[in-house]
Amino acid sequence: MLASQVYNGTNVKVKNIFKKKFVSTTPNATIYEAAKIIFGEHHSGLPVVEGKYKKLVGFITEQDITSEMFPSIKDIMEDYVHERDFEAMEKKVIPVLAKKVKDVMSKRVIYIHLEDPILKAESVMKIKDVSRLPVVDDKKHVLGIVSKGDIFRALVSPKIRGFK
């Protein structure tokens, strides 16, 4: 459905504009496998799902992965001098890529429901500083993704003449 066919000045729902095709990963996948999808397909993050019905259990982002290369507060407290060695941090890439997604992912996932208004989705994205949200049903099964771009197109494109 074209965005210009969706927005007519009424309360448009997420179900009218979200993308049903999406990529995801599982908790037992390696960071290497997730990073390959994230970087290879130009995504900022992936929903982490389990089972046949793709139940949402987490979300992993570029930031989650790169943050693993930095020392923890405990590491810094124990060895301040060596934990500031940025070249040594780069050497952590290989061990980080071997970790499981479940060890790095965010378990407190921000998501949106099919029946929610698109401006609620935009508001959640703005407040949480994210650019896309998993779209779920009542059982937290991932059905797709909605992005800021999807919302922008739904709101603006009908107002621009000749846009399809």
Classify residue 20 as exposed, middle or buried by CB count within 10 Å of its CB (0-12, 13-18, 19+).
exposed
Determine the pLDDT at residue 1: 46
Task: Choose the CATH number for 3-157 among 3.20.20.70, 3.20.20.140, 3.10.580.10, 3.40.50.1370.
Answer: 3.10.580.10
Choice between 86 and 148, residue whose per-residue pLDDT is larger: 148
* 8, pLDDT greater than 60: no
Distance from C-alpha of 164 to C-alpha of 150, rounded to nearest angstrom: 14
Phi, psi angle pair for 148, to nearest 5°: -60, -35
Per-residue pLDDT for 69 more than 60?
yes
The structure's pTM equals 0.79
Parallel/antiparallel/unpaired status of strands 112-113 and 132-136: parallel
Please report, as a single letter, which amino acid is at residue 73. Answer: I
CA distance 80 to 75: 7
Mean pLDDT of 107-111: 94
Cβ pair 69, 83 in contact under 8 A: no
Please give the C-alpha separations between residue 48 and each of 2, 16, 97, 128, 151, in angstroms, as whole numbers: 28, 23, 16, 18, 23
Tell me the percentage of the chain whose pLDDT exceeds 70: 77
For residues 142 and 19, is the Cβ–Cβ distance under 8 A?
A: no
